[in-house]
A and B are shown apart, each in its own frame.
Chain A
């Protein structure tokens, strides 16, 4: 070996160059940095979070961690605020996604039926705006519009003899307002997906259905729903993932209040970690959120692959 290395010069450079030019080396160089970066951002934090969740530890004094076993999890699952956060997040996901799909379908049908009119195609961008706006600003907008004193919403409702509605003022109304904001912001997203699905239906199929005398509900059940099923399922999964990280809007509008009425999972974990510095409890909450999202992700990945291969 030493002899080979001492026989310097060209003969030995060739294999090295061959190695550098080999597919394996080049492709590894393309992929490795991304994988290392992502592992540092996902796998390592996961392991560290699990470790912290088994300890009593303050974010301000990480060195003084005391092993407490599953205590944090036990405390968490008996904390009414955390259970409320779970319930609220689940409810928000279910109700907002159902509302979004129904409204989005109706609007998508309307846009598709007017696709021969240029003006209405242009209006689509305007309809999509809420989903692109900074979520924090969405919170600001509705703090202003739903404000009990200077809000335009109650003023307009008053003008037609309704209200005033205590938008963020009492627990029932606050949850309803958060739901309303969510639906306002994300219906355009669903609409976009459903419209892409509807546009992929060949027009001769509609024609055939019409000739056969199919009613609208036949068309809906036998033609439209099967055609948009995959893409709507994808939308549902992405929206569930979004709801698990839902934070900005509640942070500015209600901070989880009044009481615990609008507490959601990410806000709960955030407050434990960065306001009360309870890194142990906060990490346990983070691990639970992560496990839920991992289960959903498994479905999401398979689904995305399938849609892509179609």
Chain B
């Protein structure tokens, strides 16, 4: 804090951090490097340490063959993010600003649904979706992903809505604004960056989802993770596809980690811990 100089007692922590950062990054990097290698180099022992980064055939192959599934993932994820926010923002706003009997109990119930393991809802969800013709469809995935991320979105939005000064809301009410006008005119503009963080988190959670997509989709609406999982089936393992597809799949979350670092603490604790 006081000075940016190197102190002798810093050496220990420095070595420790460098070791642990290496452990964190090395496995990720090793698969990412494989994406730039021809098949023979991927399985070579002794390993080819540094690939030729101009070799982009794996990426070309994956993008040309599996592009529709990347689009599926994008649509399902973006759709779920929008739907979850449309539902969550007014709810969070009302739970913070409207005093009514059972308010805390309702908020707690919403939070408790976040803790429910998706497998517990799997069969019932599968059965309704089959009945409603939503199996293997993007609207189906959007509904499922929005639903499972809704509790998180409500809670994290609440933590941002709470930071809007109460006096501003009261002033707007005195001027005769409806609650809807207070929400869109006062609260939304003031919590824009917070809502962006909520949206990004929902996007990443939905983007990373695998199990629901595995049984809710079969062909048309398959998401990219489901396709990637099929590269490691019973026959030959397509390492060159796995590597290139993994790089593409991990791009959004990795970029997010760098750009949204300051919101991560509040994101992983559903807004309970302030950033």
Binding site for B on A (CB under 8 A): 21, 23-24, 26-27, 29-31, 33-35, 37-38, 40-42, 44-46, 48-49, 52, 59, 62, 103, 106-107, 109-111, 113-118, 120, 123-137, 140-145, 149-150, 152, 155, 184, 188-189, 192-193, 196, 231, 234, 238, 241, 244-245, 247-248, 251-252, 265-266, 269-270, 273-274, 279, 282-283, 286-287, 289-290, 293-294, 296-298, 300-301, 304-305, 307-308
Contact = CB atoms under 8 A, between A and B. Distances in A.
A24 B90 CA distance: 14
Q: What 4 A-B pairs have minimum CB-CB distances, sorted nearest first?
A: A45-B124, A110-B13, A30-B90, A30-B94
B178 A270 contact: no
Contacts of A52: 123-124
B94 A134 contact: no
Interface residues of B, number: 99
B117 interface: yes
B225 A136 contact: yes
B56 interface: no
B142 interface: no
Interface in B245-262: 246, 249-250, 253-254, 256-258, 261
Nearest to B83: A37
A125 B44 CA distance: 31
A252 B249 CA distance: 16
B55 interface: no
A274 B213 CA distance: 12
Interface of B: 1-4, 6, 10, 12-14, 16-18, 20-21, 23-25, 27-28, 30-31, 34, 42-47, 87-88, 90-91, 93-95, 98, 100, 104, 106, 108, 110-113, 115-127, 146-148, 150-151, 154, 159, 178-180, 183, 204, 207-208, 210-211, 214-215, 225, 228-229, 232, 239, 242-243, 246, 249-250, 253-254, 256-258, 261, 264-265, 268-273
Nearest to B111: A301
B87 to A, nearest CB: 5
A49 B124 contact: yes
Contacts of B249: 134, 136-137
Nearest to A43: B113
A189 B27 contact: no
Nearest to B3: A116
Contacts of B124: 44-45, 48-49, 52
Contacts of B93: 30
B210 A248 contact: yes
A130 B253 CA distance: 10
Contacts of A26: 94, 178-180
A135 B208 contact: yes
B179 A293 contact: no
A42 B257 contact: no
A274 B125 CA distance: 13
Contact of A27 (B154, B179, B214): B179
A290 B179 contact: no
Given A114-B14, A118-B4, A126-B21, A137 B272 contact: no
Contacts of B151: 38
A245 B118 contact: yes
A178 to B, nearest CB: 15
Contacts, number: 295
Given A34-B87, A114-B17, A196 B265 contact: yes
B104 to A, nearest CB: 8
B254 A290 contact: no
A238 B111 CA distance: 12
Nearest to A244: B117
Contacts of B34: 144
A272 to B, nearest CB: 10
A131 B151 CA distance: 20
A3 B158 CA distance: 47
Given A45-B125, A133-B254, A251-B229, A37 B13 contact: no
Q: Most B CB atoms within 10 A — which of A132, A142, A184? A: A132
Q: Most A CB atoms within 10 A — which of B46, B98, B124? A: B124
A145 B30 contact: yes
Nearest to A144: B31
B207 A134 contact: yes
A57 B93 CA distance: 44
Contacts of A125: 257-258, 261
Contacts of A110: 12-14, 16-17
Contacts of B271: 308
Q: Most B CB atoms within 10 A — which of A21, A41, A290? A: A41
A234 B24 contact: no
A48 B120 CA distance: 10
A126 B25 contact: yes
Nearest to B120: A290
B246 A115 contact: no
A134 to B, nearest CB: 4
A130 B25 CA distance: 8
Contacts of A109: 13
A59 B123 CA distance: 8
B178 A21 contact: yes
A47 to B, nearest CB: 8
A189 B268 contact: yes
B265 A34 contact: no
